[in-house]
Amino acid sequence: MMKNLLIKWILVVIVLSFGTDSFAQFAVAGLKGSKGEYCMTKLTEDDYKKLKKCITYFVCPQTLLKEREELQILLDEAWDYTDIVVIGNDEVKEYIKKKNSAFIDISILTNPTIQEIYMELAIVGEKRVRYARFNLNFNCKMAQVIKKDGTTELFKYFDTEADILNLKPGIIANYLKMIATKLNEKEFVDCQAKIKNAEELKNLEKDTLFITDNAKIKFLATAFKFGCETDEEVDVEKLMKRYPFPYQFVTFEELSNKIINGDEFYYAICLKTQDNLNHVSVYKSKTGECVYNSFSVGAQFVNGDFEKIAKLVKK
C-alpha cells in the first residue's frame, strides 16, 4: 500500500513493502516500459502533451536559493522541454493550484527509515503524473534527524542545513539536460537500468575521468552507524589500483564549476542513496548523457566499483 502526501515542497512516500534494489541514479518515464516498470510507469501521448503545456517549477531549498540567478540561467539553457522557473519551497503555495504547472521537487521514500531521496518531475492534480527523477546523495545526518524528530524536522533540515552534495547548479543542469533528451525521444529509463556505453568509455583510455571525491570518504560499518561518514579517507592507491587509466578526484563544487565553464570531459558521480547502496555513474559534461551506470552494496566505495569501468575501457 502506498500513501502519497504533499507537505510543503517535499513528497513523502511511505511504502510498506518495498525492496532496496534500485540500481540507477535516475529514471525517465516513456511510451515503452520495461517488464518491471520499477519506479516509472508508461506515459501516454496525452501525458506528454500535458507536460508540454506546463511551466516547470524547480523547487529549491533555501540553501540553494543563494545561487538562484545562476541556476535560472543554467536551467533555461539546459531544459528545452518546457519553460522553467526556479522557486523556493515557500513559494510553492502560489503555484500548486495553477493550471499547466509541473514541479521538480524533493521526494523521500521511507520504509520506515529513509530508502531514497530524489528530485522528481511530476504534474500534481487529481492524478499525479510522474515523468522523471534523479537521486540525491544520502548522508547519515538525514537518517538521524528522521529517527529522532520525524519528518517535520527533516523538512527543516533539508531546507536550511543539508548540504546535498550533488545538488549543485552545473550538476543539476546536466541532470535536466539528460532528462529532457530522454523525454524528447520518448525513451523509457527504468530505475533498474544498467548502462554500459563501451564505445564512449573507450575514450577513457586516454581522457581523464573526473571522480567526485566523496568516493574517498571512509564510512563506518558498525551495527548502529552503518554507512555514516567519518573525517578519514580510504587509501586512494588501493581504491583506484584496478583503474589503470587517468583520473582525478574533484569536489562536487569543482565539478559543477567545470560543467558551467563548458569544459569537455567525462565525470563519475559517486552517490550513496542509502547507508549501504553506492552508485557510480559516468556522464559526458557537454550533453549530460550517462554512458555508464552501476551500483554496489556496502558501507564503502571500493576498488571493484572502478574496476567495472576499467574492464569496459579495455574491451
Residue whose cell numbers read 521537487: 105
Exposure string of 223-234, with b = 16+ CB inside 10 Å and e = fewer, is eebbbbeeeeeb
Residue whose cell numbers read 534494489: 21
pLDDT tens digits along 163-203: 899 999 999 999 999 999 999 999 999 887 889 999 999 99
β-strand pairing of 114-123 with 101-110: antiparallel
pLDDT band at 216 (very low <50, low <70, confident <90, very high): very high
pLDDT band at 36 (very low <50, low <70, confident <90, very high): low
Mean confidence (pLDDT) of the chain = 88
pLDDT greater than 90 at residue 147? no
Q: Is the dihedral of CA 27, 294, 165, 39 positive or negative?
A: positive
Question: How many angstroms separate the Cα of 83 from the Cα of each of 47, 141, 161?
Answer: 17, 35, 29
Report the 3 state secondary structure along 201-233. HHHHHCCCEEEEHHHHEEECCCCCCCCCEEEEE
Element containing residue 267 per DSSP (H, E): strand 266-274
Three-class secondary structure of residue 79 per DSSP: coil
pLDDT greater than 60 at residue 205? yes
Tell me what pLDDT residue 213 has: 98
Nearest CA among 236, 218, 235 for reference residue 227 = 218
**Is the pLDDT higher at 125 or at 122?**
122
Lowest-confidence segment of 31-35, 43-47, 269-273 by average pLDDT: 31-35
Q: Is the dihedral of CA 226, 229, 230, 236 positive or negative?
A: positive
Tell me what pLDDT residue 38 has: 64
**Is the pLDDT higher at 140 or at 173?**
173
Tell me what pLDDT residue 152 has: 80
Q: Report d(CA 37, CA 192) in Å as an integer.
A: 9
pTM equals 0.91
